[in-house]
Amino acid sequence: MDFFYAGGPVMYVLLLISVVALSLILYSLRGLRSMTANPEEWCHRALSSLEVSVDSSNTDRLGEALQEISFSLQSSIQWLSRLASMATLLGLLGTVLGISQAFFDMQQKGAAGPEVFAAGIYQALHTTIAGLLLALPFLLAHHLLRDSIARHHLTLLGRLRRMLEQKS
């Protein structure tokens, strides 16, 4: 807990971002599990989203239909990348605020000793560390989830083609 408080006010924003990111990860995992467990349902949703009838050779339109029905899932995955960038930048903001505080403390005390400067640097390093520690797993989750949804889309596209071939 001392680590959190030592980082100053930026740590509260980083905490909020981490809660949002965790929620997005759980939402995305739930959506991917649904794609895996109920592929027929996803295929029927994709087919029903098409305004015109298509055949198995029109894979572009089938792919677009899959993109449409999974937009919120893809959007949540994309937000993980944005949150990773925000965490990194907030860590940098905390660094700048901590160094600014260190210089302010030096000015107030009229001394340039390391003990005066240390408190601001301590805060600066904590926010930098926290920002980076959050950004790395967010980016990893973003890439893993993005790749998973791409694989599932290919699987669903193949299933859609087979469904349409069986109808014709």
The Cα–Cα gap between 145 and 29 comes to 8
pLDDT for 100 equals 86
Q: Locate tokens 């924003």: which residue?
A: 13
Decide: 42 and 156 in contact? Cβ < 8 Å. yes
E-strand stretches of the chain: none
CA distances in angstroms from 74 to 70, 110, 147, 155, listed in the order given: 6, 54, 11, 16
Q: Structural domain of residue 139, as residue ranges?
A: 2-167
How many domains is the chain partitioned into structurally?
Answer: 1
The token pair that represents 97 in the structure block: 């605020």
Does the structure show a pLDDT above 60 at 66? Answer: yes
Residue written as token pair 């937009």: 71
Q: Residue 79: which pLDDT band, with cuts at 50, 70 and 90?
A: very high
| Arithmetic mean of pLDDT over the chain | 86
State the angle between helix axes of 10-37 and 39-49 in degrees (0 to 180), rounded to the nearest 10.
Answer: 90
Residue bearing the bigger pLDDT, 117 or 34: 34
> At CB < 8 A and 24+ separation, what contacts does 116-122 make?
122/6, 122/98
